[in-house]
Amino acid sequence: MKNFVRWLREIYRWARRVPITRHYWWAVLAVVVCVAVVGACGWTEDAFRLSGMGLQLGGVFTVALGILKTRADFGQPTVRSQFRSWAKIFPPLHPPKVTMSMNITMPGLTGEGYGYTTHGPAADQTIEGRLGHLEDVVKKLAAAHGRTHIAVLQAEKKAQKALDEQARMLSSQIDTVHGKIEATATGGLHISAVGAILIFFGTVFGSAGHELHRLLTP
């Protein structure tokens, strides 16, 4: 008995892993409900035709909903917004006056540079004075080199920061596009496929109602 109960649990877990998304379960539920309604009505031809019409209308609505969802996921305007924009540009009987103005802005050019100057020793300086002057020049050059090195490091750090920011923005945009593609694969297209299933069964019920009535009625 325990083995049988364990086997039933495994069957239940196996059934839950069926590779069908939740969208298609709604289609299965709608078809089952229609079949149950037709059966309750005695498998009559009129019941088949009315159920088929209901499935077809539901399928058309579902397909339209899937298309609208796919367009919305990719930022496309909806039909309602397009008609609203079209209504806003209705030509008035008395058009308003149009005033035109034009502004021109010239962007300023900016630049950055560094410069250092030195002066030579006096003509009548002694050798000790000239050596002292050379030591001052060497110190100034070392200080200038240090400032230039710091400026280069700051510019490099700023450029690296800008590159990292662009890389993060690009990665975010790629993730957004990937998310939209996944949403389309699991959303709008599946909804439209559910509509196609409903239209298929609705067409069968509506067009073969007489044959189904003769087949299921003893």
pLDDT in tens, 62-90: 888 877 777 776 777 777 777 788 888 88
Q: Single out the residue of 166, 163, 158, 143 nearest to residue 112, CA to CA.
A: 158
- For 159, half-sphere exposure in the C-beta direction (CA atoms, 13 angstrom radius) is 6
pLDDT at 112 over 60: no
Structure tokens at 100: 């035109």
Distance (Å, whole) CA 116 – CA 143: 11
Identity of the residue numbered 150: I
pLDDT grade for 200, boundaries at 50, 70 and 90: very high
pLDDT, mean over the chain: 79
Range with the poorest average pLDDT among 129-138, 153-162, 174-183? 174-183
114's CB contacts (< 8 A; 6+ apart) are: 144, 147, 148, 151
What is the rounded average pLDDT of the residues 50-62?
91
- Could you tell me which residue, 18 or 204, shows the higher pLDDT? 204
At 214, phi and psi to the nearest 5? -70, -35
Distance (Å, whole) CA 91 – CA 214: 61
pLDDT at 218 over 80: no
CB 14 within 8 A of CB 31: no
At 10, phi and psi to the nearest 5? -65, -40
The predicted-structure confidence for 184-196, as pLDDT tens digits, reads as follows 555 566 777 888 8
pLDDT at 123 over 70: no
pLDDT grade for 199, boundaries at 50, 70 and 90: very high
pLDDT, residue 109, reads 47
What b/e readout covers 38-68, taking b as 16+ CB neighbours within 10 angstroms? beeeebebebbbbbbebbbebbeebbeebbb
pLDDT at 105 over 70: no
Tell me the C-alpha to C-alpha distance, in Å, between residue 164 and each of 160, 171, 177: 6, 10, 20
- Residue boundaries of the structural domains of the chain: 15-77+128-216
Identity of the residue numbered 109: L
